Copies of this chain bind each other. A is one copy, B any other.
């Protein structure tokens, strides 16, 4: 028998579901709090019992999606530590992002869909995490240290795979997996050292990355309730 606060969490989730459906259909600007409340079958005031503003409501939605995505990556990493290798991890991240329209919109800076929700500290946090991941891989010898600006080059190359589709509609016929495989090839050939990596190093790196992902998830959990502006 669910207690009072459990009910409240359920309802918060229902409201976020409603917000998600409407956001993807109409975009941030055209979705009103009234719409969300009606879709979630609650009164408008009820929405404000959970979040202080429209911006915080939709930020919570983006953060919830980020948690979901990060948990997926974490599960894959735990099932197979070699997921930590750049070509594997970048591949999984690519698929995890393109399958979540909200994440894709945030990464591509789609202000039509997200308003200015795309910016903000959330994006900075993710960028920082990417940086830390890169440095960690270089330190452990899982990314080539012999080429200058590996981090820059990898960021640039990967970005292109996310953005090409918006510039060249012809590529929309390829499946996400096909693109992800091509991306993995590029990352492996261009940025990873030749030869098989030491399994011990891989296991260790996987453990560290798992820790980082967990702490990201914790940070996200806090943000859901504080609207990303603590």
Q: Chain B residues near A163 (CB, 8 Å)? A: 159-160, 163
Show 27 A/B contacts (Cβ-Cβ < 8 Å), sorted by A: A109-B167, A127-B168, A148-B178, A149-B174, A149-B182, A152-B171, A152-B179, A152-B182, A153-B185, A155-B160, A155-B164, A156-B157, A156-B182, A156-B183, A157-B160, A157-B161, A157-B186, A158-B160, A159-B163, A159-B167, A160-B160, A160-B163, A185-B190, A186-B186, A189-B189, A189-B190, A190-B190
With an 8 Å Cβ cutoff, the count of chain A residues facing the other chain is 30
Which 7 residue pairs across A and B have the least CB separation, nearest first? A160-B160, A159-B160, A190-B190, A156-B160, A157-B157, A153-B182, A189-B190
B147 touches A185 (CB 8 A): yes
| A127 to B164 CA separation, bound complex (whole angstroms) | 13
**Neighbour of A153 across the interface among B109, B147, B168, B183, CB < 8 A:** B183
Q: How many angstroms between the C-alpha atoms of A160 and B189 in the bound complex? A: 17
Within 8 A of B (CB), among A14-65: none
* A152 engages B174 (CB within 8 Å): yes
Q: Is A181 an interface residue (CB 8 A)?
A: yes
Known contacts A109-B167, A157-B160; can you find 15 more A-B pairs with CB under 8 A?
Answer: A147-B182, A148-B182, A152-B164, A152-B171, A152-B174, A153-B182, A153-B183, A156-B164, A156-B186, A159-B159, A159-B163, A159-B167, A160-B163, A186-B186, A189-B189
CB of A156, distance to nearest CB on chain B (Å):
4
**C-alpha spacing A160/B165, complex, angstroms:** 12
A185 neighbours in B (Cβ, 8 Å):
147, 153, 190
Q: A156 contacts which chain B residues (CB < 8 A)?
A: 157, 160-161, 164, 179, 182-183, 186
Q: Is the CB of A148 within 8 A of B181?
A: yes
Which residues of chain A from 80 to 110 have any CB-CB distance to chain B below 8 Å in the complex? 109
Residues in chain B near residue A181, CB distance under 8 A = 148
Complex CA distance for A179 and B149, rounded to whole angstroms: 9
A window 110-165: CB within 8 A of B: 127, 147-149, 152-153, 155-161, 163-164
Most buried by B among A152, A156, A159: A156
